[in-house]
Amino acid sequence: MDYAGYEMTVFSNIEERLAELKMPGRLKFYAETALKQAGARLNVVWIPGSSKVVDRELITAQNPTSDDEFGRQFLAMLVDRALAVTR
């Protein structure tokens, strides 16, 4: 699926660079840069746990500190879709 034009969030380039310090090698690309180049509209924030984005059927969260809200949004979407199928 083509997500050009979608608003989303992902690990920021800075977060990726910090994670690389703990890795034995380097990443081949950074997701933030690659998604921007593919036409995504990125929403990256500096406050841990505050970045989640819902755009149409796509739910994204910036990093593990955003997982609670991501999970709530994901479950809500599953329930909505299940209810729509049963109607």
Closest CA to 32 of 45, 47, 48: 45
pTM summary value = 0.77
Region 65-86 average pLDDT? 90
Q: What is the DSSP string of 27-59?
A: -SS-HHHHHHHTT-EE---SSTT--EEEETTEE
Contact 10, 35 (CB under 8 A): yes
- What percentage of the chain exceeds 70 in pLDDT? 94
pLDDT at 1 over 70: no
pLDDT digits (tens, 9 = 90+) for 35-61: 999 999 998 877 666 677 889 999 998
